Amino acid sequence: MTAARKTSLTAGILYLLTFISIPTLSLYHEIHQANFIVSSAPSSDVVMGGILELLMALFCIGTAIVFFPVLKKQNETLALAFVAARVLEASLIFVGVGALLTVLQLRTLGAEATVFSRGLVMFYDRLFLISQSFIPAVNGLILGTLLYQSRLVPRILPVIGIIGSFTLVAGDVAVIFGLYDQRDPAIAITVIPIALWEFSLGVYLVVKGFKGVSEN
């Protein structure tokens, strides 16, 4: 297997592994309930969700590191920006997980910690908008532009990514201005293009690899 093929295969696998956090949509259901602090809901779901998010954050950094040697040949400044954005994304995910794990510790205080714990959950939700919505939109725009210009993958894939970046930001704006709740089905629709882009990119890199890259 050539070096180029190893790079594309690793990048593809890492991109697919970033979808590991999808179960948090259900694992974090109980912690979003107003009475979670005093309820009998298990803490294990939140712990598991946190582990999945932390793994996802590490995989995100991995995609940027693996991609960098290839992308810098196209535009080193944008390639560095992609790495920086991925690292920032992961860092904010770490902070968000820390907030939720703090809520679990507050359960020992009972009802008196309800207000503070709700504040931490709200903090997580707003941080989520930045770390797992806005910054991924920036990532999609940067990587999509680089891959479109370089033709390392079929151009339809980065086009989907670029379109997805704008729909993702549109959803964020709608939530910020109170037009929709963060977990509203309408907001979920705005995520579909960027999710399709990342999944399709991962599959293509695993199955086909980069186009037009020297086989040595």
CA dist list (Å): 92 to 14, 27, 58, 76, 128: 19, 19, 12, 24, 8
Whole-model pTM: value is 0.92
**Smallest Cα–Cα separation from 181: which of 104, 111, 122?**
122
Q: Which 3 state secondary structure label does DSSP give 135?
A: helix
**Smallest Cα–Cα separation from 129: which of 81, 162, 177?**
177
For the chain, how many helices (H) and strands (E)?
8, 0
**Smallest Cα–Cα separation from 132: which of 176, 98, 85?**
85
Spans of the chain below 50 pLDDT: 215-216
What's residue 3's pLDDT?
87
CA gap 29, 203 in Å, rounded: 30
What's residue 214's pLDDT?
53
| Segments making up each domain of the chain, as ranges | 3-207
